[in-house]
A and B are shown apart, each in its own frame.
Chain A
Amino acid sequence: MNLLPAAVAEVIYLAAAVCFILALKGLSSPRGARRGNLLGALGAAIAVVTVLLSTDFRGANLAFVLGSVGIGSAVAVPAARRVKMTEMPQLVAIFNGVGGGAAAVVGVIELAEWMGTEPGAVATTATAFAILVGSTSLLGSILTYFKLQGTITSRPIVVPFAAPLMVAALVAGVGVGVAVALTGNVWLGVVLMAVGLAFGALLVLPVGGADVPIVISLLNAFTGLTVAASGWAMSNTLLLVAGTLVGASGSILTIAMATAMGRSVTGILFGALKGGSTAGSTQTSDRPVRRAQAEDVAITLAYANKVVVVPGYGLAVAQAQHVVAELVTALRARGVDAVYGIHPVAGRMPGHMNVLLAEANVPYELLVEADDINAAMPSTDVVVVVGANDVVNPAARTDPGAPIYGMPIINADQAGQTIFLKRSMRPGFAGIENELLFSEKTQVLFGDAKESLTNVVGALKEV
């Protein structure tokens, strides 16, 4: 259509880039986070309208573009609006993957369009990078989706000869990448895409359990860098700035998440390849535990002074947020000092539990973060663990062989008593047994979290 001159488009892109910087700035503090996100969306919308108005379309290509944008929106909006908050990490993973895939495909198209011209070494190098890393992000993200969804096991999968294969894929990636950069050949670009996909699989398969979200964050940073490389190749400042922002902030975020869990990023990616730390099983344990009934639990809680509820993913899956809020409210009405102890990685992602409890309108002041709740643990009478396992597992402190070793936990074992609400004796996401379950201070109330909590709330009225 070419209604906007290129210089005007450039200025609008600059404005959109500023919107993105302000969006990230807003998202990093609770105040103004939502406004920040909306500002980012506004920037993106302006940029898309600008590219439509400032580009010459050939024939029916505009119709194809508008059709694709329409179908994409029609798929994305309902998916984003309807996804259960418990399944949100999977959706973020998929959105990241398709972004990486889009950038890789754009790279291949660029190579094809450059055929017979001299694009320059910088442009072909950046394009080769975009194709390789974009396709790594694509398949890597799809596999994290399946791991979180439970379609494939969340435990580390180490394929035979994983380490040599990884090195081979890396060497092939660099080799073919250099060939693409030198020749600009589109078919080599397609081969490079295949290598990138293979590398993505090799990178993500050995990652297990609670480390998966950190890998999503890392792949998010990868996609950012891919988009930056596309901007470099196409001399588009907006793509360059937006991609670099995400690449840089995503890397910092990945490190922050890993630190919050007491892990190193290289340990997460390559730990399983070295062997050793993959101990664990999904077998149901047959060791005896002390079973409790709802009535026992109600009495224990009613006569406690201080109670801490530790919610986990199991609570969210059972949709028990509202009942747990009812229990805490009832206890507080009786004068029991009941609060929630929130582990930073409770749920499936750092901060995920805050999102899930916010959905259930749980009062904000009652959510106490791990460090503060741990300081109060020795003076706590009862800890109620609802559908959480790994975040209270003392093995993180005591067993160097455990996959969660070094992860900060909520020290439920230091409280007077622990009550576990569990569906079965199956271990949690990390696939390891929890010694705390077999402690003499522990009682286990088996069943669906929602049902068990409803029974406890009912029994509490009789006490």
Chain B
Amino acid sequence: MSGITILTLFVLTAFVGVEVVSKVSSTLHTPLMSGANAIHGIILVGAIAVTAHATEPWLIVLGSLATLLATVNLVGGFVVTDRMLEMFSGRPKQPQRESEMAGDPR
């Protein structure tokens, strides 16, 4: 890819990134931060690519380290975000039952 192609892609993607989250409510700040965090774990793809053709032992060690760290970021990030969001989605059903139990007139 030419430098200009890359620059174009970079600028356009930056606009997409800004647009996509510009009106997020504060309720979702934490899951959004965690979800974005998971996405940059995709450096794993880069870590695998550089480790693939490493020749010297110290480079293989470093590459394995980078792969390990990136995996933790990627896998852990998506799992913890899912756990948070699971709780959000569980909410709407609960109040009905609770107010019935309490005899809430509403």
Contact = CB atoms under 8 A, between A and B. Distances in A.
Interface string A430-461: 00000000000000000000000000000000
Interface stretch (A286-294, A296-304, A358-366): A358-366
A220 B63 contact: no
B31 A105 contact: no
Interface in A35-49: 36-38, 40-41, 44, 47-48
A41 B86 CA distance: 15
B83 A33 contact: no
B9 to A, nearest CB: 6
A21 B103 CA distance: 45
Contact of B65 (A58, A105, A249): A105
B74 to A, nearest CB: 6
Interface residues of B, number: 89
A203 to B, nearest CB: 18
A98 B69 contact: yes
Contacts of A79: 72, 76
Contacts of B62: 105, 108-109
Q: By CB atoms of chain B within 10 A, which of A56, A110, A226, A332 has the most?
A: A332
Contacts of A48: 44-45, 48, 74
Contacts of B46: 103, 106, 227, 230-231, 234, 236, 239
A244 B14 contact: yes
B20 A55 contact: no
Contacts of A239: 42-43, 45-46
B29 A350 contact: yes
A194 to B, nearest CB: 15
Contacts of B48: 48, 51-52, 55, 65, 69
A64 B80 contact: no
Interface stretch (A87-95, A263-271, A273-281, A420-428): A87-95
B36 A253 contact: yes
Interface string A40-82: 1100100110111001111001101101110111011101110
A333 interface: yes
A105 to B, nearest CB: 4
Interface in A9-36: 16, 20-21, 23-25, 27-30, 33-34, 36
Contacts, number: 395
B69 A47 contact: no
Interface string B71-96: 11111111111111111111110110
A50 to B, nearest CB: 8
Contacts of A112: 56, 59
Nearest to A141: B37
A106 B66 contact: yes
Given A34-B86, A224-B40, A248-B18, A55 B49 contact: yes
Interface in B1-50: 1, 3, 6, 9-10, 13-18, 20-50
Interface in A170-200: none
B34 to A, nearest CB: 5
A159 interface: no
Contacts of B76: 75-77, 79-80, 91, 95
24 contacts: A23-B35, A24-B39, A27-B21, A40-B39, A41-B38, A51-B49, A68-B68, A72-B71, A77-B76, A80-B75, A95-B76, A99-B73, A99-B77, A110-B50, A234-B46, A236-B45, A238-B42, A244-B14, A246-B36, A248-B13, A332-B99, A333-B102, A358-B87, A366-B95
**8 cross-chain pairs, A with B, having the tightest CB-CB distances, nearest first:** A72-B71, A248-B17, A363-B95, A76-B76, A99-B73, A350-B29, A80-B79, A68-B67
Given A28-B20, A85-B84, A235-B6, 19 more contacts: A34-B88, A38-B82, A40-B78, A44-B39, A65-B52, A65-B63, A68-B51, A89-B30, A99-B37, A99-B77, A105-B66, A110-B50, A220-B36, A224-B36, A227-B40, A234-B46, A248-B16, A250-B36, A252-B22
Interface of A: 16, 20-21, 23-25, 27-30, 33-34, 36-38, 40-41, 44, 47-48, 50-52, 55-58, 61-62, 64-65, 67-69, 71-73, 75-77, 79-81, 83, 85, 88-89, 91-92, 95-96, 98-99, 101-103, 105-106, 108-110, 112-113, 122, 216-217, 220, 223-224, 226-228, 230-232, 234-253, 256-257, 260, 325, 329-330, 332-333, 344, 349-352, 354-355, 358-359, 361, 363-366, 369
Interface of B: 1, 3, 6, 9-10, 13-18, 20-56, 59-60, 62-92, 94-95, 98-99, 101-104
